[in-house]
Amino acid sequence: MIAADTSTWIAFLEGGAGDDVEMLAVALGDRQIVMVPAVLAELLSDPEIPGSAAQTLTALPLIDVESGYWERAGRLRARVLRKNRKARLGDALMAQSCIDGDVSLLTRDRDFRAFAETAGLRLVIG
């Protein structure tokens, strides 16, 4: 199972190209994709998202938010920031969800490397 970050989903939904978009298409076809709650919230925040895309996204299985998630995400972000690396809150939430769900994150955003180096987030970078 894998999850995809917002940048990969946007590229996919807009018909973009890239290794990550191709990998996402394969994972969708094989039913090997799970949705990160923070990614779903970001995607559904787009007031222009087509209804069919929203339906597809909300039909995917969500990674569960387990007890202690918010604390773990905050501590993860603090560890990355302590190393003077970029750590946006949304990225920390996505990274923690993937770590908790034991899934790799498919992304085109290199900022996630700090979470991989600090906490073992598994990345598939397109």
2-125: CATH superfamily: 5'-nuclease (3.40.50.1010)
Domain segments of the chain: what residues?
Answer: 2-125
| Integer Cα distance of 54 and 89 in angstroms | 23
CB 57 within 8 A of CB 31: no
CB 1 within 8 A of CB 33: yes
**pLDDT at residue 126, rounded to an integer:** 58
pTM: 0.91
**pLDDT at residue 125, rounded to an integer:** 83
Is 106 strand, coil or helix? strand
Residue 28 has pLDDT above 80, yes or no: yes
CA nearest 3: which of 31, 28, 33?
Answer: 33
Integer distance in angstroms from the first to the last C-alpha of the chain? 16
